[in-house]
């Protein structure tokens, strides 16, 4: 059983997109980035934003290597579109989400582990 993660906009679980931040509680950059992540979630209120602590929710991120924090996953119903570390600045995440969601960037990542993570996130959000 996957332990619950803290979500923002959880009522929007039927949305086409998911934005997830993979972090760790011990990481000071992650703790500072949480406010930024929550602010951007407010900007895109119809999209579920999920905060995942890679240690507390290790089963959820099983098989995913996170080397730098914060690491963000943006995915559509077609699969992962972006996965990587970001500089912890509000404008960076906002522009990236807009490029993937609003502007409809066609980029899709072909990675089985990311697809598995995405499936687990969707299952978690579905309740």
Our count of domains for the chain comes to 1
| CB < 8 Å & 24+ apart, contacts of 87-92 | 88/29, 88/32, 88/33, 88/36, 89/36, 90/36, 90/39, 90/40
pLDDT score of 105: 63
Confidence of residue 5 (pLDDT cuts 50, 70, 90): very low
The answer to whether position 88 is within a domain reads yes
pTM for this model (two decimals): 0.85
Domain with 34 in it: what CATH number?
Answer: 3.40.30.10
Range of the domain at 18: 6-126
Report yes or no on 1 lying in a domain: no
86 within a domain of the structure (yes/no):
yes
Residue 126: pLDDT band by 50, 70, 90 thresholds? confident
pLDDT score at 12: 44
Tens digit of pLDDT for each residue in 21-71? 999 999 999 998 999 999 999 999 999 999 999 999 999 998 898 889 999
């Amino acid at each position: 059983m996957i332990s619950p993660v803290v979500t923002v906009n959880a009522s929007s679980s039927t949305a086409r997109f998911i934005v997830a931040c993979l972090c760790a509680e011990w990481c000071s950059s992650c703790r500072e980035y949480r406010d930024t992540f929550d602010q951007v979630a407010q900007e895109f209120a119809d999209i579920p934003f999920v905060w995942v602590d890679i240690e507390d929710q290790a089963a959820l991120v099983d098989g995913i290597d996170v080397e730098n924090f914060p690491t963000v996953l943006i995915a559509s119903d077609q699969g992962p579109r972006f996965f990587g570390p970001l500089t912890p600045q509000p404008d960076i995440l906002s522009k990236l989400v807009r490029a993937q969601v609003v502007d409809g960037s066609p980029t899709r990542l072909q990675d089985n582990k990311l697809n598995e993570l995405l499936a687990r996130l969707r299952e978690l959000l579905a309740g």
